[in-house]
A and B are shown apart, each in its own frame.
Chain A
Amino acid sequence: MDLEETLLPGIGVRYRLRTSAGEVLGIVVRREGGAELAVYDRRDPDRARGVLRLEPDEVDALAEVLGAPRLTQRFADLSREVPGLESGRFLIQEGSRFAGRPLGDTRARTLTGCSVVAIVRDTDVVPSPGPADTLRAGDVLVAIGSASGLQELAAHLAGPA
């Protein structure tokens, strides 16, 4: 797989993904949270055509659809071994009080008993993050814990500043 990342100053980031079928998918992720998906013109491979514009909530929905099964798959096995243990994904919203602060500041384990086992950031995954790892808006926290603990954690992370 061939994924190329280019900075678009003032706009966001552009990704170009060459699929094994030989087609090129262009993805522009705007820093406001929206995105554009594009395929390229055969005659002029520099030119995007058929641009699909997504608003931030639509981007989240798409990411959820594409990203959720694979990630939760990994923790599903673990959950099966320990009855009552479940996993959940939590988005650090734009303007969240935890954006820009270290993971430790959420006091997730103290308050809810849940462990944050990974931070998903764009295409990267930070496995087993430490309390000093800084959270950014747009990060997705993967946490495991009891069902009620996960609910509390969701409320805690989304709570007002």
Chain B
Amino acid sequence: MHRVVITGAGTINALGHDVATTFEAMREGRCGIGPLEIRDVDRLAVQIAAQVRGYGEHEHFNRQQIALFDRFTQFTLLAARQAMQQSGIEFTGDLADRSGVILGTSGGGLSTQDENYRAVYEEGKNRVHPFIVPKLMNNAATSHVSMEFNLRGPSFTVATACASSNHAMGLAFQMIRSGMCKAMLTGGSESMLVFGGVKAWEGLRVMSKDCCRPFSANRNGMVQGEGAGVFVFEDYDHAKARGANILAEVIGFAMSSDAADIVMPSKQGAARAIAGALRDAQLDKTQVGYINAHGTGTAANDKTESAAVADVFGAHADQLMISSTKSMHGHLIGGTGAVELLACIMALKDGIIAPTINYEEPDPECALDVVPNVARDAQVDVVLSNAFAFGGLNAVLALRRFS
């Protein structure tokens, strides 16, 4: 068994275009949610989102690249470049062959699909650009990352709705821990804030029209975000040998399937994934200081997740902190676990617990310490990151402070 550490992190999301800005926003409890600015927004009932603002694709990519890179791929590459720069790792020779890319996304190149369906259905065009398929495919981001940084080992994309990134990072962790790989670029990305994407979510009637208030009694739904988070996971011995700066250690991962309902979450399924991650990391539950919640702000998720945490941790549930940073960066669907892992790293490395903002009224069904509204200084040694997807697919990661 090999130890697995994180040696690089990168992101672009509604809170910032890099990790430092995102940490600052999380410390300050800043909200990235605002009016949604997309074409035909007047035909949507939901008109808010946590959009990436102030972003110009031409600042980062040339014309040929833009012809091939959907927005979700662009976000991924920007985050991957930051993570690679921080890590300082270079993939050549045998290391390149034993390192790969595993990324999560749910919608993939949804903006590309949306634009081109519009062109052929609404505008009646009979000709489309030749690169639509390589641009929209869910594995496009993974492939471009592998090409840009020469990762030639196991590489693929995971799509498990809102758990995609956690599943991706969990598999990357397992591949390094088992000795199969030396390093992995992993995380995820999403860019679903297009008319068709938001309209589809609207149909489910789980979206808030005003705000995301996880665990608060007056919560009324989720708010979508967009962006990416990408990390360098690396074999500890390899990282140590090259003198890499270590951000945190990944120590456990578990997945479960509710095998119950396509949209309603199950307490048992969530609890099995949480307990499984503790077991995989050989942790006693009292060691866990913080959980980054799935915390979508829907009525169903937050009470089910709270009940699952109470079940697994028993009396210790009242001692640990649990917050939902979706209140700030929105729900990035397939990319959400990756951005949320940043809050875990911040907790371990800086001793700052990101808050659940917009919290207004206690809910007896969510009676945990949700770190309401204001970030908290607290040294924690072990944290978990929860992700529970539609379809009942759950993925929980465990991380430890590296010292």
Same complex: no
Q: Give chain B's interface residues, CB within 8 Å of chain A.
A: none
